[in-house]
C-alpha cells in the first residue's frame, strides 16, 4: 500500500482555446474537470497500474466534494481531512493552435491549526498499513514551512519510506529530514542549488549534491529528455522516447508514481527509473490531467533507453 499526501488539492479545470490572445477576450467551448493536486495525481497513476493506494490531504466545500466524487468514480481510496475553506481550482488553458499550455494555480485555502492537527491524526491512522508515503505539491496558507520535515520524520520513526516532490523552501526544509527520494524537475533543482544546470555533467553533479543535502535518491526530471537519477554511488539516465504530446500536466506525478511502485517492490534504481519514465511518457500522450494509461506504460517499458553514467 502506498499513501499519498496532497496538502493542497485542486479541481483542475482544463480549457481548450484555439489561438490564445493575451489581453483580449478569448472564447472557449470545452472545459474538462479532473481531481488534481500532485499527490492525488500520484495515487491516480498508481491505481491505474493496479497497485494499492490511498490519497490523504485536505478538502473543503463544493470543490472538495466534486474531487471526492471524481475519485470515487475511479474507484480510488481516499481519506481527506475536512476544512472550512473551499478547496482551490487550478486553470489549465491549452492552446490547440500552438499546442502550448498555461497554468493558473491558486494559493489554496487557509488551514487552521486544529485542521492541521486533525490531519496528522488522520494520516497516522490511514497510513498504518503503508510502507511508503509520497508527499507532493505546494503547501496552502496557514501551514508551517517545515511541514514536510515533520511528516517525513514521523514516517521514518514508524519505519516507512518517503518520497518528496515539492519546491522552494518546502523542499529545502524537507531535505533536512532525509527523505528516501526526491524528484525535482530541472527548474526546481536549479532553484534549490542556486545555479543553472545546462549540461549533462552539471545535472549529474546537481543530483549528487542533492543526495549530499539529505536525499537517499535524487531524481532530476528533464521533460522530453527523460531523467537523471543518483543515489550517491550510481548515476542512471533514462531517456524518454519521442511521443506526440497531448498534455504535460501530471507527467512528473506519473513519474513519481512509477518510482514509488518500484521503491515499494524493492526494484533496482535502474528499474525504478525505467518505470518512472515509461509512466511519465505515457502521461503526456493523454489530454488534460488524464495521466498515464496502463497499456501505454506496458508498451513503453521495454523501449525506455537506460544508460549508466559515471
Ligand X SMILES: Nc1ncnc2c1ncn2[C@@H]1O[C@H](COP(=O)(O)OP(=O)(O)OP(=O)(O)O)[C@@H](O)[C@H]1O
Task: Identify which of 117, 42, 135 has the alpha carbon closest to the alpha carbon of residue 81.
Answer: 117
- 53-59 and 2-6 strand pairing: parallel
CB 87 within 8 A of CB 10: yes
Residues 102-121 binding ligand X (CB under 6 A) are none
Nearest to 223 by CA among 262, 194, 255: 255
Report yes or no: 104 and 91 within 8 Å, Cβ to Cβ: yes
| 90 in contact with ligand F1X (CB under 6 A) | yes
Instruction: Give me 72's grid cell.
Output: 470515487
Q: How far is CA 147 from CA 63, 123, 171, in A?
A: 24, 13, 10
Which residues, in sequence order, are CB contacts of 125 under 8 Å at separation 6+? none
By the rule CB under 6 A, 282 interacts with ligand X: no
Helix axes 38-48, 61-73, angle to 10 degrees: 10
CB of 35 to ligand X, least distance (A): 15
> Exposed, middle or buried: residue 107 (CB in 10 Å: 0-12, 13-18, 19+)?
exposed
**Residue 221 interacts with ligand X (CB under 6 A)?**
yes
Beta bridge partners of 164: 135, 182
Active-site residue identified among 12, 122, 253, 296: 253
Q: What is the DSSP letter of 49?
A: T
Q: Which does 12 bind (CB under 5 to 8 A by kind): ligand F1X, ligand X, none?
A: ligand F1X
222 binds ligand X (CB under 6 A): yes
C-beta closer to ligand F1X: residue 115 or 165: 165
**Residues in 249-268 that interact with ligand F1X by CB under 6 A:** 249-250, 252-253
Q: Measured on CA atoms in the order 280, 264, 180, 109, is the torsion positive or negative? A: positive
Binding-site member from 13, 14, 38, 183 for ligand F1X (CB under 6 A): 38
Choose the binding region for ligand F1X from 4-12, 61-69, 196-204, 229-237 (rule: CB under 6 A).
4-12
137 sits near ligand F1X (criterion: CB under 6 A):
yes
**Minimum distance, C-beta of residue 42 to ligand F1X, in the bound complex (Å):** 9
Please choose which of ligand F1X, ligand X, none residue 10 contacts, taking the beta carbon within 5 to 8 angstroms, the exact cut-off set by kind: ligand F1X
137 binds, among ligand F1X, ligand X, none (CB under 5 to 8 A by kind): ligand F1X
Q: Of ligand F1X, ligand X, none, which one sits near residue 2, judging by CB under 5 to 8 A according to partner kind?
A: none
Under the rule (CB under 6 A), what is the footprint of ligand X? 185, 221-224, 226-227, 240, 243, 245, 248-253, 255, 277, 280-281, 284
Under the rule (CB under 6 A), what is the footprint of ligand F1X? 8, 10, 12, 36-38, 41, 90, 103, 105, 137-138, 249-250, 252-253, 289
Amino acid at each position: 500500500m502506498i499513501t499519498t499526501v496532497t496538502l493542497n488539492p485542486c479541481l483542475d479545470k482544463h480549457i481548450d482555446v484555439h489561438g490564445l490572445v493575451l489581453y483580449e477576450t478569448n472564447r472557449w467551448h470545452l472545459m474538462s474537470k479532473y481531481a488534481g493536486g500532485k499527490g492525488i495525481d500520484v495515487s491516480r497513476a498508481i491505481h491505474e497500474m493496479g497497485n494499492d493506494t490511498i490519497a490523504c490531504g485536505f478538502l473543503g466545500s463544493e470543490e472538495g466534494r466534486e474531487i471526492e466524487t471524481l475519485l470515487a468514480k475511479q474507484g480510488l481510496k481516499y481519506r481527506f481531512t475536512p476544512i472550512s475553506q473551499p478547496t482551490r481550482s487550478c486553470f489549465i488553458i491549452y492552446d490547440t493552435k500552438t499546442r502550448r499550455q498555461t497554468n493558473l494555480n491558486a494559493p489554496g485555502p487557509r488551514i487552521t491549526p486544529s485542521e492541521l492537527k486533525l490531519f496528522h491524526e488522520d494520516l497516522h491512522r490511514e497510513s498504518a498499513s503503508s510502507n511508503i508515503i509520497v508527499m507532493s505539491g505546494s503547501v496552502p496558507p496557514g501551514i508551517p514551512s517545515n511541514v514536510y520535515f515533520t511528516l517525513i520524520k514521523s514516517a521514518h520513526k514508524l519505519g516507512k519510506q518517503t518520497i518528496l516532490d515539492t519546491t522552494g523552501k518546502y523542499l529545502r526544509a524537507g531535505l533536512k529530514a532525509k527523505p528516501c527520494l526526491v524528484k525535482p524537475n530541472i527548474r526546481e533543482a536549479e532553484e534549490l542549488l542556486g545555479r543553472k544546470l545546462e549540461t549533462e555533467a552539471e545535472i549529474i553533479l546537481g543530483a549528487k549534491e542533492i543526495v549530499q543535502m539529505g536525499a537517499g535518491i535524487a531524481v532530476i526530471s528533464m521533460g522530453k529528455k527523460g531523467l537523471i537519477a543518483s543515489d550517491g554511488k550510481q548515476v542512471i539516465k533514462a531517456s524518454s522516447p519521442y511521443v506526440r504530446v497531448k498534455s504535460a500536466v501530471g507527467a512528473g506525478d506519473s513519474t513519481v508514481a512509477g518510482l514509488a511502485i518500484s521503491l515499494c517492490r524493492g526494484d533496482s534504481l535502474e528499474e525504478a527509473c525505467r518505470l518512472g519514465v515509461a509512466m511519465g511518457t505515457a502521461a503526456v500522450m493523454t489530454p488534460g490531467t488524464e495521466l498515464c494509461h496502463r497499456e501505454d506504460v506496458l508498451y513503453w517499458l521495454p523501449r525506455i533507453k537506460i544508460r549508466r553514467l559515471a
